[in-house]
Amino acid sequence: MYDKDFIGRVVISKAGRDADRKFIIVDVINHQYVNICDGDLRKIENPKKKKIKHLNITNTIAEEIAQLLANGDKVSNSKIRKFLQSIDDNEEV
Q: How confident is the model at residue 15 (pLDDT cuts 50, 70, 90)?
A: confident
- Is the pLDDT assigned to residue 13 strictly greater than 70? yes
Q: How far apart are CA 35 and CA 42, in angstroms?
A: 10
pTM for the predicted model, two decimal places = 0.88
pLDDT at 4 over 80: no
- Look over the chain and give the mean of its residue pLDDT values, rounded to a whole number: 89
Domains located in the chain, CATH noted:
3-87 (2.30.30.30)
Burial 19-47 (b: 16+ CB within 10 A, else e): eebbbbbbebeeeeebbbbbbeebebeeb
Beta bridge partners of 48: 36
Percent of the chain topping pLDDT 90: 71
